[in-house]
Structure 1
Amino acid sequence: MTVDWSPDLLPPGRRAETVRRMMGGFAHPVWHCTLDGGENVVIKASNEDRADLFAAEAGGLDALSGIGGLTTPRVLAAGARSIVLEALDPTLPDTDEFWRAAGHVVARMHSGTAHDRFGWDRDGWLGLLPQRNGWDRDGHRFFAEKRLLRYLDEPRVDDALSARDRAGIERLCHRLPDLVPDTGACLTHGDLWRNNVIADHAGGPAFVDPAVSFTWAEVDLAHMLCSGGVPDSFFAAYGEIRELHPDWRRHARILNLRQLLAMLAAGIPIPTIVDSIRELVDTYAGAGGHAERPAARSR
């Protein structure tokens, strides 16, 4: 998205001493600004009215820090065209010590936020596309309907997938109870991958760009694992706090179908996405039969 810098992206009554465009920002461009008075902030902006999106992001950050106990940047303002955040450190230490700390705090969040339903009290956003969050007590139905099937009517997905592909995804959704255990709902970041983990002022892990909901903890683990770039020390440390299912890596591969469909729907230019979707569906959807139901683990 092309957005030109404008002073009206700042909090009311403030002005910028310096403005620097930052790398990244697929869905929205991001600037680092030093405000009058010396405060450093990060501003994410849009040309369009995105008040609901920026309000959802602010609410998600508040939930991660308040309910989940994670470190997140303070929200200074969230308006129609921008969200203004405390500037932390986008440069990761990228050491085993850092990633172990990240694994510990994510595991504590998952362990301490059990919920009796899946979803959230409002719909949210994953990138520029709505995230459906209606409440449901059935985790498999919630994931199938709100995290997989909801993408099949997105124009780019409809154009890219065949009728056979769609039938395979629907078959996989039907088989989810045999493929992925229901470990109960907990607070999840929802878009947890390497680029959404940054450092706080003390060099510890902080978290940005959430798409929060109460769902399976393995949804966060799936994105961290399958998006790449996260060392095994993160997952080892996570397992010290919250038990990992013996087959969690296989579950992660299946749950990552949600992210593949979301990227396809958003038009992210990765030419192998459709092949990855087909390979996953061919592996796990089956044409019939009944796989052994995996045992659930405690929350």
Structure 2
Amino acid sequence: MTVELLLSRLRAAGFEAESVRAAPGGVVALAGLARLRDGSQVFAKTLRTPASDLFEVEAAGLRALREAGGVTTPEVLAVTPDLLVLEPLPPRRDDDERFWEELGLAVAGLHTATAGERFGWHRDGWLGRLRQDNTWDADGHAWFAERRILRWLPEPLVEAALSREERRALERLCAALPDLLPPAPPVLTHGDLWRENIMATPAGGPALIDPAVSYSWAEADLSMLWCSPRPPAARRFFEVYAATAPLPDGWQERMRLYRLRELLSSIAHDDDARACAEAVRETVQLYL
């Protein structure tokens, strides 16, 4: 896929795009910063084959985070089956503790303002290029087990990476979740809250992109950032969050358990599958 495809689809959607600079990373879509004839810029994504509602779901997630949770997200300028056009955002400053403090306040505000009665979402979504099952359920432990962990076991690459006994161990771990995770209300979550999905506003404040929203546990949202590499200044995120929206004791120790969902998804996407499979084994052994 080349930037020419993104350029042509922008033009077909009515944007007078003159050039596109491809964005690094990204395994699902071709993305880039486009310069328009009037000198302004937009951020755009496209798919080689428009065969899903991926961009529609992403746009809906951005709106939900902004409207229901008060989180800053880029403005959606256009969305079609093969194109998503967003307001461009600058990168964050990793060494700015104030930035991470503001993000901690924003995510705490999102979680505390959106408590619901059921886990899930009104439609299924996407995590990477694979479907995210958001079927509603009032039982958080059953929902997290079925929709966030066991959901990945039938994926071909997961079946290849984990033995039958290892998959059965995951099933036993899921059955024990009520004893391992404290009950908590469902809240609106970003769903893919790791450092690469954190941007900045032109004024320097935090903004979030690429959501995989659902009503889930707040701790599950935090686990993405906690368990992925992050700059030292990000410690202020967790300090401010915990002071604003206190968590049950032992939350740090539970982060690895929530991370199973991301590890299994990474295996299914063939993203460092060997290391992720070993991390799954270590986590299961730790908790069982």
- TM-score, normalising length: structure 1: 0.92
After TM superposition, give the deviation of residue 203 of structure 1 in Å.
0.3
After TM superposition, give the deviation of residue 270 of structure 1 in Å.
4.9
Greater helix content: 2
Q: Which residue of 1 aligns with 2:279?
A: 276
After TM superposition, give the deviation of residue 93 of structure 1 in Å.
5.0
Maintained 8 Å contact 1:188/1:216: yes
Which amino acid is the alignment partner of residue 249 of structure 1?
Answer: Q
Q: Which residue of 2 aligns with 1:9?
A: 9
* 5+ long unaligned stretches in structure 2: none
Deviations 1:104-140 (A, max 9, x none): 1000100010000000000000010000000000000
| 1:191-230 → structure 2 map (5 Å cutoff) | 191-230=192-231
Q: Which residue of 1 aligns with 2:154?
A: 153
CA gap of 1:158–1:9, structure 2 versus 1, over 3 A, is: same
Which amino acid is the alignment partner of residue 237 of structure 1?
Answer: V
After TM superposition, give the deviation of residue 264 of structure 1 in Å.
0.5
Q: Which residue of 2 aligns with 1:291?
A: none
CA–CA separation in structure 2 for the residues paired with 1:86 and 1:94: 24
1:237 lines up with 2:229 in the alignment: no
After TM superposition, give the deviation of residue 217 of structure 1 in Å.
0.3
CA–CA separation in structure 2 for the residues paired with 1:206 and 1:16: 25
| 1:42-191 → structure 2 map (5 Å cutoff) | 42-191=43-192
After TM superposition, give the deviation of residue 38 of structure 1 in Å.
2.6
Alpha-carbon RMSD across the aligned residues, in angstroms, is 1.3
Greater shift, 221-230 or 56-65, is seen at 221-230
CA–CA separation in structure 1 for the residues paired with 2:245 and 2:188: 14
Greater shift, 93-102 or 260-269, is seen at 93-102
**Equivalent position SS for 1:271:** helix
Maintained 8 Å contact 1:115/1:185: yes
CA gap of 1:233–1:248, structure 2 versus 1, over 3 A, is: same
CA–CA separation in structure 2 for the residues paired with 1:48 and 1:109: 34
* 5+ long unaligned stretches in structure 1: 287-299
**Equivalent position SS for 2:170:** helix
Q: Which residue of 2 aligns with 1:267?
A: 270
Greater shift, 37-46 or 258-267, is seen at 37-46
Which amino acid is the alignment partner of residue 167 of structure 2?
Answer: R
CA–CA separation in structure 2 for the residues paired with 1:253 and 1:147: 14
1:37 lines up with 2:12 in the alignment: no
Greater shift, 203-212 or 270-279, is seen at 270-279
CA gap of 1:3–1:246, structure 2 versus 1, over 3 A, is: farther
Greater shift, 252-261 or 92-101, is seen at 92-101
Q: Which residue of 2 aligns with 1:293?
A: none
Number of equivalences: 284
CA–CA separation in structure 2 for the residues paired with 1:257 and 1:120: 20
CA–CA separation in structure 1 for the residues paired with 2:118 and 2:2: 39
Which amino acid is the alignment partner of residue 254 of structure 2?
Answer: H
**Equivalent position SS for 1:13:** coil
Which amino acid is the alignment partner of residue 238 of structure 2?
Answer: F
CA gap of 1:91–1:236, structure 2 versus 1, over 3 A, is: closer
CA–CA separation in structure 1 for the residues paired with 2:222 and 2:118: 20
Maintained 8 Å contact 1:58/1:75: yes
- TM-score, normalising length: structure 2: 0.95
Which amino acid is the alignment partner of residue 263 of structure 1?
Answer: S
Greater shift, 42-51 or 247-256, is seen at 42-51
Maintained 8 Å contact 2:3/2:21: no
**Equivalent position SS for 1:67:** helix
Q: Which residue of 1 aligns with 2:253?
A: 250
CA–CA separation in structure 2 for the residues paired with 1:277 and 1:206: 31
Deviations 1:19-76 (A, max 9, x none): 1111121222211011222331111121011440000000000001000100000111
